[in-house]
Chains A and B, each alone.
Chain A
Amino acid sequence: MLLKKRQRESAEINGSSMADIAFLLLIFFLVTTTINVDTGIGMVLPPPLDPEVEPPPVHQRNLMNILVNEQGIIVMDDVRTNINDVQTKLIDFIKNPEGSEELAEDPLKAIVSIKTVRQTPYRIYIDMLDEVIGAYALLRNEAALANYGREYGSLNKEQRDAVNKIYPKKISIAEPDPE
């Protein structure tokens, strides 16, 4: 009897295949994983308009109307503009270095209004929006360098907020006219 008991198999679970199982799982997750970072242009839509409340009056000179029509032509304040000139024109409009009567009084008051029609090609719209965001990025970087001597990207949160206050991003997406 005693001898028989001793000959029993050991109670341990054989762990030598664990590595194989783990490898198998590892390969599965390796294959299925897609490490992709989502990138895009962040925007905040305007809240829905209340028909009973009058919109606050905006001085025409503080408003930059950008229209992208069905042929993908960009019109800034009734002037046809090449996509490459959008950024410089916008910076001029926001900063208004010469104090022109036609351009924004103050960067704080400058509003960019983007208008499209239903047939506007999406790609042109994004290209144009990219230029607008780029103009603000340039201005903020400039302000960051002037005030803190560092690039906008390396500022901390409070400094960033301070710079954002100098050049607030006021972009309004207007609804297309009903046809």
Chain B
Amino acid sequence: MANFKKKQAGTKQEVPTSAMPDVVFMLLFFFMVTTVLREVTLKVKVDLTKASNIEKIEEKRLVSYIYIGPERLPGNKFGNDKVQIDDSIQEDIGAIRTIMYDKLLEEQRLIVSLRVDENSEFGVLTDVQEELKQAGTLRVNYSTKNEN
């Protein structure tokens, strides 16, 4: 019985938790900084194709996205190929020029990331590229997944 008493009298069994809020806050700040809150709600279906010789876009703030794919219709149906910039579908292809030009004025090193559905045809993309040329946003990136 005396032995039992001795054991209990030894070191404390509790883990010190006073630093826990600090640790949690550190993690919190990490995730707050890395989070990109504003995700675009896609109105077109975009399944990216795959490629192997790809590069990463390091500076995300330079990137502006253009989505091309079949329009999502109510009832899980898909319509014709449409172009989406930011949150809205652009019916008028000619308007892309001014939109992209405004973006270029804000950020000179703009990269346009073209997220095109793999099953779409090249025609719409051709029109968009022509607009991009006119707007002067010549740096593009065909968004693809990694093949490996």
Give A contacts to B, CB under 8 Å: 15, 18-19, 22-23, 25-26, 29-30, 32-35, 37-48, 68, 116-123, 125-127, 129-130, 133-134, 137, 173, 175-176
* B51 CB, min distance to chain A CBs, angstroms: 4
Contacts of B52 in A (CB 8 A): 130, 134
B31 in contact (CB, < 8 A)? yes
Residues of B66-125 contacting chain A, CB below 8 A: 111, 113-114, 116-123, 125
Kindly state the separation between the CA atoms of A99 and B103 in the bound complex, as whole angstroms: 47
Residues on A with beta carbons closer than 8 Å to the beta carbon of B114: 40
Q: How far is the CB of B103 from chain A (nearest CB, A)?
A: 15
Contact of B122 among A43, A118, A134 (CB under 8 A): A118
B31 partner, pick from A29, A122, A126, A133, beta carbons under 8 A: A29
Contacts of B140 in A (CB 8 A): 42-45
Residue of B nearest to A138 (CB): B53
Near A by CB (< 8 A), chain B positions 130-148 give 130, 132-134, 136, 138-146
**Interface size classification for chain B:** 35 or more
- Report how far A40 CA is from B21 CA in the complex, Å: 40
B13 CB–A CB distance under 8 Å: no
Instruction: Name A's interface SS.
Output: mixed
Given contacts A45-B133, A122-B117, contact A39 B142 (CB under 8 A): no
Which residues of B from 19 to 47 have beta carbons under 8 Å from A? 20-21, 24-25, 27-28, 31-32, 34-37, 39
| Chain A hits for B14, CB < 8 A | none
Most B C-beta atoms less than 10 A away, residue of A45, A47, A121: A45
In this complex, the member of A19, A26, A38 whose beta carbon has the largest number of chain B beta carbons within 10 angstroms is A38
Q: Is B7 located at the chain interface by the 8 A CB criterion?
A: no
How far is A179 from B59 in the complex, measured between Cα atoms in Å?
A: 39
In angstroms, Cα B46 to Cα A123, docked, is: 12
Q: State whether the Cβ of B6 lies closer than 8 Å to any Cβ in chain A.
A: no
Known contacts A22-B25, A38-B143, A173-B129; 15 additional CB pairs below 8 A are A18-B21, A33-B31, A33-B35, A40-B141, A45-B133, A46-B138, A118-B122, A120-B122, A121-B122, A122-B116, A126-B51, A126-B144, A127-B49, A127-B51, A130-B144
Chain A residues positioned under 8 Å from B117 (CB to CB) = 122
Q: Are A48 and B133 in contact, with the CB atoms below 8 A? A: yes
* Contact, CB under 8 Å: A41 / B60: no
Across the interface, A34 reaches (CB within 8 A) one of B36, B130, B136, B138, namely B36
